Amino acid sequence: MKDDRIEQLLQNFNEANLQPLWTLESDIMPHKPNPKSIPFLWKWEKLYELAEEAGELITLERGGDRRAIALANPGLGGMPFATETLWMAVQWLNGKEVAPAHRHTPQAIRFIVDGAGSYSTVEGDKVYLERGDLVLNPPLLWHDHGSESEERAIWIDGLDIPLTKYLNANFFEPMHKDTQEVNTIKNYSILKYGSGTLKPAWEREKPVYPPMSTFKWVKTEQALLDLAKSGAACPHDDIAMEYINPLTGNPVMKTFSCWIQMLRPNVHTQAHREVCSTVYFVFEGSGYSVIDGIRFDWKQGDLFVVPNWKLHEHINTSNERAILFSINDRPTMELLDKYRAEKYEENGGHQIVTSVFE
Ligand code: GTQ
Ligand code: FE2
């Protein structure tokens, strides 16, 4: 009797577009994060080969605006996203080309693989791009890229496109002309604010976004070498540094953070897991990471993903330094009070490798 009524009730819920919690629990309230994105790795040779071919076949026209090729995590059902919140792409710009000016609500960064005489203009501030530079593009600031040499430039883009899409907060606007006017000398914001520890004394206000658009590689590298010299290191990430707004100490973006880390020769870090997803770009060196028990061998140029709450540790297998650039959505998690982390205590902090990614 009662069973029949329950069955009828469930059917009535369904017809009324209602769903009772007691039939859903483990799906919408899992005991721990259960991301759809999977640990994955993209090899540089393949990315480069395909980007190069795109450089021959695809022109930069309005609509596309950029020759950017996105990492599509196989766990995300064909979406062009590296993780649930992060977009990562390889962008190829031919010599003498212009990627026309536009602006959008997703916030962006570029990490330069080979600048080759190219520039980015962000809200009238024109900066030249060199290997290892990090360029910031806060939300709704106009930007165009161009090349003043005969050679192609190539870089990595990081954006919060998936998060912006999920929040239905996306706006995109092409500019009425291809390139912005530049009224200051080149590299203006770097010259003015690039020291990071000193600022023009007469300026008292705190801009909402970091005052310089670019972190130059020479300074970043020096910071890594100095931190290593200090003897301090993170057990999980070795010589790891977060790019910050020098005027506030906050991560450079509201929704995601940028890191640069040096794994010293033969270092093997301790595994941990965090409520945040990370996309890594191997800037220099070779080694492997163990993510959720899977061994991912990497070398210069490769990109790989650590999804939410997956155990991970990094190993530099060489006698040279290895350098990883990465973006992670930890600032989003922290702003929303959802960040947690846990150390892996078993087995001396090292996971048992159950398979090797091919
Ligand atoms: O360079 O402006 O990878 O607008 C995706 C969207 C790069 C860019 C991307 C973009 C850009
Ligand atoms: Fe853009």
Distance CA 114, CA 106 (A): 24
For the cut 80, the answer to whether the pLDDT of residue 74 exceeds it is yes
Task: Give the residue, out of 65, 86, 178, with the most ligand 1 atoms within 8 A of its beta carbon, to mutate for a pocket test.
Answer: 65
* HSE-CB for 41 with a 13 A CA cutoff: 20
Q: Output the six-digit token pair for 324.
A: 């990883």
Predicted confidence at residue 62, as pLDDT, reads 77
Ligand number with the minimum distance to the CA of 135: 1
Q: What is the pLDDT of residues 100-146, one digit of tens each?
A: 999 999 999 999 999 999 999 999 999 999 999 999 999 999 999 99
CB 275 within 8 A of CB 338: yes
User: Residue 10 pLDDT > 80, yes or no?
Assistant: yes
- Measured in Å, residue 274 CA sits from the centre of ligand 2 at 29
- What is the distance in A from the centroid of ligand 2 to the CA of 125? 15
Give residue 348 CA to ligand 1 midpoint distance, Å. 42
Given a cut of 80, whether residue 63 has pLDDT beyond it is no
Q: Nearest Cα to 166, choosing from 105, 103, 91?
A: 105
Please identify, by atom number, the ligand 1 atom nearest to the C-alpha of residue 89: 3
Ligand nearest to the CA of 162: 1
The span from the CA of 146 to the CA of 179, in Å, is 9
Q: Give the per-residue pLDDT at 305.
A: 98
| Predicted local confidence at residue 61, as pLDDT | 83
**Mean pLDDT for the chain?**
97
CA 68 to ligand 1 center in whole angstroms: 7
How many percent of the chain have pLDDT more than 90? 95
Q: Which numbered atom of ligand 1 lies nearest the CA of 91? A: 3
pLDDT for 1 equals 85
Give Dmax over CA atoms of the chain in angstroms.
83
Residue 69 CA to ligand 1 center (angstroms) comes to: 10
Task: Give the C-alpha separation, 128 to 115, whole Å.
Answer: 8
The atom of ligand 1 lying closest to the CA of 137 is: 2
Distance from the alpha carbon of residue 68 to the mean position of ligand 2, in angstroms = 10
- Identify the structural domains of the chain with CATH numbers, from first to last: 34-356 (2.60.120.10)
Q: Which atom of ligand 1 is nearest to the CA of 104?
A: 4
- CA 358, CA 355: separation in Å to the nearest integer? 9
CA of 103 to the centre of ligand 2 (A): 6
| Ligand 1 site residues, Cβ closer than 6 angstroms | 66, 68, 89, 91, 104, 108, 143, 157, 159
Q: What is the pLDDT of residue 208?
A: 87
* Choice from 62, 66, 105, 144 to test ligand 1 binding pocket (greatest atom count within 8 A of CB): 66
CA geometry: angle 96, 98, 103, nearest 5 deg:
160
Give the number of the ligand closest to the Cα of residue 103.
2
Please give the average per-residue pLDDT across 162-189, as a whole number.
Answer: 96
Pocket-testing residue among 81, 157, 256, ligand 1, by greatest number of atoms within 8 A of Cβ? 157
Q: What is the pLDDT of residues 260-289, one digit of tens each?
A: 999 999 999 999 999 999 999 999 999 999
**Percent of all residues in the chain with a pLDDT value above 70, rounded to a whole number:** 100
The rounded distance, in Å, linking the Cα atoms of 235 and 233 is: 6
At residue 343, does pLDDT exceed 80?
yes
- Residue 232 C-alpha to ligand 1 middle, in angstroms? 36
Q: 208-231: per-residue pLDDT in tens? A: 899 999 999 999 999 999 999 999
Is-contact 309 291, C-beta < 8 A?
no
- Which pLDDT score is estimated for 283? 98
State how far the Cα of 227 lies from the Cα of 21, in Å rounded to an integer. Answer: 50
